[in-house]
Structure 1
Amino acid sequence: MSGPAALPLLTHDGERHTRATETVTALDGRPAAVLSLSPDLLTAQSLRALARTAPLPAAERARRLRAAARHFLHDELGGLTFGRYRACVARVSGHNAPLTDQLTRAVADAVAEAPDRADRARPTGSLPSWRQVPAAGSGVWTRRGETVAAVLSGNTPTIHGGWLQALALGYRVAVRPSRREPFTAHRVVAALRAAGFRPADAVFLPTAHAGVPGLLRRADLALLYGGDDLVAAYAGSPTVKVAGPGRAKTLVTGGPASPATLGAVADSVTALSGTACVNTTAVLVEDDHARFARDLAALLRARAAGRQTTDRHLGPRVTAPAADALLAYLSRHAAHARAEIPLQEIATPHPDGGVVLGPAVFTVPTQDDPLLGTELPFPCVWIAPWSRAAGTAPLRDSLVVNAITDDLALVDALLDEPTVKNVHLDTPTVHGAGHLPHEDYAGTFLMRNKAVVTKGGTG
């Protein structure tokens, strides 16, 4: 690997290097990139330019997005080939090599398919353009504004799907990337420009934390990714859509779990390095939850065996201080829980630097234990008992619930529970696809319907 990559700003008037920079450090402690940071004045100028720019026609946007996906996969962009870009992502994200390849290639799909994915939110009674409205009139799907700010986290490269759909809908977008993994955002914006999008269609504006409020204030709408603090700060805002912790759960009813069920739960815990909001972090079991925990722990240990010091490690690779902090947290807060895998086994030094975390399995005594709401950035799962009398109460506030059950009334209750955002039936919580909503469809937040009646309508 050569020296650190240079990641300049991609502004409304082109590429800019700034005096204010930040070094992106790889997990081995070496610098991976030098990231230019946008001063507030330049951020303001870029947002004004985006607001003044009329959107490209929808068909042209779709054509250029398909071309951008090809550029993303095949071109040298910002001095990085796709192979070197992928290596940079692996060095800073902590995902293993096969998963990094899968996720970075999935970004190209998100670029190419953005128009189709965005259109899935459009109601069947609404048309995409007023020019298609018949004399009797129709609803027309229209933007709620002109500009979107996307403030991203670094969990996974595929986090870019939402703002790409905004671009497909005609918004101009200011992307504030994760400063831990800015490579994907830079490459996507560079690919868009290579495909013919104008500089004022999408900009790459890394900022310090202090720059985020100004970015949110200046954009019409914002897509924001973060923790509970951000969810609390912006929960009441009609112009900010916050994606926070997932607290995804699996419910297993009936008798002893089958090997297939244990395997599916193991997948839900460890897929995506166990760092995504859709990873199962709590399992509620109607039968013998302690036995389920022991069996799951045995399966996860077998899956991790021999892998943790290779490029196929099961959990994420993190820095040694981050690993120490997480282990200290578990020692303090999980003292009453039973560790089915000893704590000293869940942190493995990696020969390329850093520490591989997980898997970890704990049992807790009750279905209302506070630890069931704890989400940590590695494969860590809490197993609790569940009773029919409890119903859906222990499953509230979940991004996804996978219900492994034959109780159809229980499924109805989960779908009716407002704080459960997605329901899977005997399907891992990590299952996703471009046509499925995540925290609702992005278009539900970005768009609205207006009645349009042409001359001669009967009204």
Structure 2
Amino acid sequence: MTTAPPEQDGRLIRLPALTHRGRVETRAVETVHGVDGSALAVLSLCPDLLVAQAVQAQRRAPAPPPRERAARLAEAARRFRTDVLGGLSFAEHCDHVTRVSGHNRSLTEQLSRAVADAIEQAPERADQARPNGSARAWSDIGRRSGSGVWTRRGETLGAVLSGNLPTIQNGWLQALALGYRVAVRPSRREPFTAYRVVEALRAAGFRDTDAVYLPSAHTGATALLRRADLGLVYGGDDVKTRYEGSATIKVGGPGRSKTLVDRAHVLPEAVESVVEAVVESVTALSGVACVNTTAVFVEGDHTRFAADLAAALTARARARQTTPEHLGPRVTDDTARAIVDHLRRRAAHARPEIPLDQVATPHPAGGVVLGPAVFTVDDPRDDVLGAELPFPCVWIAPWSRADGLGPLRESLVVNAISDDRGLITDLLGDPTIQNVHVNVPTVHSDGRLPHEGFVGDFLMRNKAVVSA
């Protein structure tokens, strides 16, 4: 099926809001640019009143039955992969996402196909969080018996998305599978993926009130989170601090994912494969994700490990950074200058293993490709080890058993390259470490593992139901 394409303004795609009453073009608009500076789309921005009206209409609309939701999600996944939606085929969609996100073309397509998988698998993924003692519905409980029943904490969800990766959609899709009506505020840098998802959902039979697409300025994000029953928002320390302690808003990020390499794995016979695993953790997903390793702690000669890692990263990047398959992200010239300047200030006391003048590479198609960068420090508690930059950048520090878990705390993922069962148990027991991998790169995920907990942990609650 082909949906009606948005109106074209020359070569610019028009991205209207997808509201509770269909497509709406607003007076306030914003031009979406590629990293090469070219204008690609005109994005309608929703006033707060339209956001309020959309969420109010969603709250009044009943949730579709579970089987109907699952069937429509499966159909939406197919349409996301195959249909012309919003005037773009899947290949054209990937081209546009590549041009604004800075990911290489292969990664963009891989992640976009992963979004389709997330649409189709949303019911199954959401159900991973359901406790064994709870039924999906009260009608599943036998007479004269009781059970916990998994129920929604609200009716509407506001999702304020970042533009790091297309797969940022995965959380709100699970909410839709659980019966929430979802209002999506897309990234203004990469608005195409969320637009295509909502178009696919509507083409598959979801009502306009089931999922709405509401681009807005920063004030619109606040308005959305205030009006929806629950909210998902993504960002760094500032966003985390703003919403910390809220029972109704879940913050995704920051990551500060780390790799710990014990003494047995820096021996000559083991270190080569370990370095390759760390390279994967640092460079996958363009190095911009919260699961990318940004600090490596080495029990042994950390300077030698850093030199080996720098050599491997340089070899991986060589001859790629000026091609369509560049390793790091491609960003605008201004963004590159700002990031490199910040890096110079932050790393003033650290030792660069790759010369700083090699961190930014001009790309023939426009913009600058960032990374890789490797720095060494000598104190495992150095504040710089908590620095996250949006490209393959990693800090290497020494670690000993006497240092304990302190340097590893406050991590989204820790990959322990170790066979020490006691160490693994200690890592799992630390409440500030959210996920523990054992000899598996920090970037590994199959879509069914908890990320920052299961999304269902936040969206759902258990009620006791007893039937006479």
Residue matched to 1:56:
64
Residue matched to 1:428:
441
Residue matched to 2:201:
192
* 2:176 is the alignment partner of 1:163: no
* 2:155 is the alignment partner of 1:146: yes
Residue matched to 1:96:
104
Write out per-residue CA displacement over residues 96-153 of structure 1, whole angstroms, 9 at most, x where no aligned residue: 0110110011100000000000000000010000000122210000000000000000
Q: How high is the sequence identity, in percent, across the aligned residues?
A: 64
Residue matched to 2:5:
none
Long gaps (5+) in structure 1 = none
* 2:273 is the alignment partner of 1:266: no
Write out per-residue CA displacement over residues 154-213 of structure 1, whole angstroms, 9 at most, x where no aligned residue: 000001000000000000000000000000000000000000000000000001001111
Residue matched to 1:176:
185
Residue matched to 1:137:
146
Q: Distance in 1 between matches of 2:148 and 2:429?
A: 28
1:23-422 → structure 2 map (5 Å cutoff): 23-134=31-142, 135-255=144-264, 256=266, 258-422=271-435
Q: How far did residue 327 of structure 1 move?
A: 1.1
Is the Cα–Cα contact under 8 Å of residues 397 and 419 in structure 1 kept in the other structure? Answer: yes
Q: How far did residue 409 of structure 1 move?
A: 1.0
Q: Distance in 2 between matches of 1:32 and 1:278?
A: 30
Amino acid at match of 2:126: A
Q: How far did residue 389 of structure 1 move?
A: 0.8
* 2:449 is the alignment partner of 1:440: no
Amino acid at match of 1:113: Q
Q: Distance in 1 between matches of 2:338 and 2:356?
A: 13
How many residue pairs match? The answer is: 455
Q: Secondary structure at the match of 2:467?
A: coil
Q: Distance in 2 between matches of 1:295 and 1:321?
A: 31
Q: Distance in 1 between matches of 2:88 and 2:15?
A: 10
Q: TM-score scaled to structure 1, two decimals? A: 0.98
Q: Secondary structure at the match of 1:277?
A: coil
Residue matched to 2:3:
none
Residue matched to 1:20:
28
Write out per-residue CA displacement over residues 373-422 of structure 1, whole angstroms, 9 at most, x where no aligned residue: 00000000000000101111100000000001121111111001000000
Q: How far did residue 330 of structure 1 move?
A: 1.6
Q: Distance in 2 between matches of 1:17 and 1:406?
A: 58
Long gaps (5+) in structure 2 = 1-7
Q: TM-score scaled to structure 2, two decimals? A: 0.96
Is the Cα–Cα contact under 8 Å of residues 118 and 168 in structure 1 kept in the other structure? Answer: yes
Residue matched to 1:4:
12
Amino acid at match of 2:219: A
Q: Secondary structure at the match of 1:107?
A: helix
Q: Distance in 2 between matches of 1:244 and 1:101?
A: 24
Q: Secondary structure at the match of 1:403?
A: strand
Q: Secondary structure at the match of 1:139?
A: strand
Is the Cα–Cα contact under 8 Å of residues 248 and 401 in structure 1 kept in the other structure? Answer: yes
Is the Cα–Cα contact under 8 Å of residues 391 and 410 in structure 1 kept in the other structure? Answer: no
Q: How far did residue 331 of structure 1 move?
A: 1.4
Q: Secondary structure at the match of 2:36?
A: coil
